Chains A and B, each alone.
Chain A
């Protein structure tokens, strides 16, 4: 690097900084720092004249590095980087000293504040001297998308993407589209038919020119990075054989849905032993045929619905499956319609009616005289066969929370609201597409609140109940959000890759592989031949975890190198 020519600019920010910090003193102190050729105070550095000043000095004193002591870099770093760029200096030759938010605004003693401001500015000057020029790069964005799972979420996303002109591959494991929704009769809370809703979508998907529906197929491999993935898909043939195909895609939407909890795991309910204890999905089947009846073929006089089967308990899953409460209320309506004069009781823990129209639906369900019985978490109701003297087939003993009584309710048919579970192979899928699962096997989103659609791997999105139990509207919303995110990128055509990322110096890497598992974005690859690790810069988000962990300092964090931070440490302490 040729001779260092640093310009230091100390902003008064009107009086925001100047009223506490002696800016001239800071300027004076910085003027004598190594490499500093210009040092000036100014009223408002971020103002146009302020930026002009920097540009002018760069040309006049041919500065090659700039320090701006002003507000937080989180505020104006972009502004001043532009100024440098304008003057033909690489924008990364800028360093800011935060003497407002972290100095003048939080300290009232002018002497101490000024000392601190000097230290921070000195640190910035020493640091900027070790900066290196960095270039932002961009890669092409492939407009094709791979959707894993042909359920309501997968199809909704696919349609949006395809309508916008992108090619979509839907990979569905079963021999038909529709996923779990296809197993449902009516939907809560408006009691309209799921199949009506579904058929429309399925036809559109199948007939859509931009959508390739691959039934009885599975994704076998996924390589590459955002905008440039290559997927390997294996499809079953009718003659029993298989056919493999390679697809180029820019993004992936994982919409693999959920599986229902195995009711047999809870012994208290006698599922599998008592003939008339059935799961919600078995009831759906009955409802679709329109005939709700006991195994003996009789119409049940008493139907009991037990909530939270496998959900919200310590033994199985602590989470709430979110759709069962409303589904159970739906059953109350449907059963009463199918079997007039039948008594329905809902044995529940809490009634979670959070969604649109759900609370009204809850009210309506109680109006049709559904008996709600509340039980305590982890204190399971017990289902047993009734005796001949009772006018019912089974009896359910509940420690009823609202009355504090232990009561027994009659039942001829018991419906278990089985909760949602991550699919048993979710771990594999996660590994396949480089995302992670939580302890329950649900896929982890990039940010629980601000980015619930993306994942830690750029270009891989999640939609529907594979992330966490969801009802249809939520699944569809997430799916279409994912589609939107992808379309935004396709529209740009190119993907900007930040110039700040980690790099492995292969001459120093010993291949110890400490770093391999540390990257949340799976940006580190290990090359077996060379016995070296290297970073896929397109995936790296520059957190620096691997850099700090590398025992032989073979990984460098661009713009946050050891040398730069050491210089800063020396700066603040000198």
Chain B
């Protein structure tokens, strides 16, 4: 059955940052240089081809874009400057939008203005909300950073509410929202890439056998390490780990973070390391994107900038409030804290489920699915080999 080509798709992808795709004349250099290409996965070339021809259905169910980390070698080696690396990047954006059922991703990726507006609104609401809570609800004192009458109490009880309420409680609510959106999109991703195909839909055995892949990749980025270029991997790993640490600290140790008269170094050492890591890598990335130092920094989509800016703001204000508080300027610290939250909320509520950050879920999933697919394929091959020729042909 013939697949319908959609010549317009390539135009649509341009909104997601694709460029020069049509220049590709399939010499195959890109696939030859890419360490991940081989066997059944001939990318980036296959994806390039499917995109050129506008084979929407094929791309929709493709995992290829997620299996690429954009080390940039393919783009460097391309004799026609068809930017395969960037094409994979834009495909990731496109897929993110396809997975997202709310349509928010699509909106954000296609118009940075909307994304920016959304972030600003979210930030303002957050700011207003916390000020309101601080001044009126809690009746807290702007001059107090923590302890009794803290302006924004972290974990401890807050005007009669049980322990664990306060900002911490808010974090948890936010996390729930985030998990809901991202989770539902992941399910959609599964359906598009695995669920539709009866072979991969219920391959429970394979799913269990390969489950370890998820955490392993998530924490170590081991696949990224396979790229010939190591620096991007290193940077990404640091960023990734710092971010993870931070997440854990905030979700589970927020109480200890708001340091009392004495600092609980068991927690803070991590906090400081993570923040430094975050700041360092983001600034490195921003510098890279500004000076276009590396291939993967050549073409920056607006979403990349917002992502980085938010990170810098959050990390910066995080340190700032800590410093101010230690310096005894609690009022200023509280203000910094509010600003900090104004960055955190849009970041978690918008960027993570609907924009660039979602890849922290999609990529490990893609690898996981890819391995499951591979298992299913080998199983099928075995089975076919076992069958009598005739059966195989009629199958």
Contact = CB atoms under 8 A, between A and B. Distances in A.
A403 B23 contact: no
A367 B52 contact: no
Given A403-B53, A403-B55, A407-B55, A371 B22 contact: yes
A351 B8 CA distance: 23
Given A363-B23, A363-B80, A366-B80, A371 B2 contact: no
B7 interface: yes
Interface in A402-455: 402-403, 405-410
A407 B3 contact: yes
A410 B5 contact: yes
B4 A407 contact: yes
Contacts of A400: 53
B22 A407 contact: no
Given A302-B7, A343-B7, A410-B5, A405 B55 contact: yes
B23 A367 contact: yes
Interface string B1-22: 1111101101100000000101
Given A343-B8, A345-B7, A407 B23 contact: no
B92 to A, nearest CB: 21
A343 B80 CA distance: 21
A397 B2 contact: yes
Given A343-B8, A345-B7, A370 B55 contact: no
A515 to B, nearest CB: 56
Contacts, number: 64
Interface residues on B, range: 20 to 34
Contact of A402 (B7, B11, B23, B26): B26
A409 B7 contact: yes
B356 interface: no
Contacts of A343: 7-8
Interface in A330-345: 343, 345
B23 A366 contact: yes
Interface residues of A, number: 24
A367 B20 contact: yes
Contacts of B265: none
A406 B55 CA distance: 11
B49 interface: yes
B25 interface: yes
A402 B54 CA distance: 14
A371 B3 contact: no
A560 interface: no
A408 B4 contact: yes
Interface in B42-62: 46, 49-50, 52-55, 58
Given A343-B7, A366-B22, A371-B7, A408 B2 contact: yes
Nearest to B3: A407
Nearest to B14: A369
Nearest to A403: B49
A343 B50 CA distance: 16
A11 interface: no
Nearest to B28: A402
A367 B80 CA distance: 10
Contacts of B26: 402
Interface in B77-91: 80
A371 B52 contact: yes
Given A367-B22, A370-B22, A400-B53, A407 B2 contact: yes
B169 to A, nearest CB: 53
A368 B53 CA distance: 14
Interface in B29-75: 46, 49-50, 52-55, 58
Interface in A356-380: 362-363, 366-373
A375 to B, nearest CB: 13
A410 B58 CA distance: 17
A366 B7 CA distance: 13
Given A367-B22, A406-B3, A407-B55, 17 more contacts: A345-B5, A362-B25, A366-B23, A367-B20, A371-B10, A371-B22, A371-B54, A372-B25, A402-B49, A403-B49, A403-B50, A403-B55, A405-B58, A407-B2, A408-B2, A409-B7, A409-B53
22 contacts: A302-B7, A343-B7, A343-B8, A345-B7, A363-B23, A366-B23, A366-B80, A367-B22, A371-B54, A373-B53, A402-B26, A402-B49, A403-B53, A403-B55, A405-B58, A406-B1, A406-B2, A407-B2, A408-B2, A408-B4, A408-B5, A410-B4
Interface of B: 1-5, 7-8, 10-11, 20, 22-26, 46, 49-50, 52-55, 58, 80
Q: Nearest 7 pairs between A and B by C-beta?
A: A343-B7, A408-B2, A369-B22, A409-B5, A403-B49, A406-B2, A407-B5
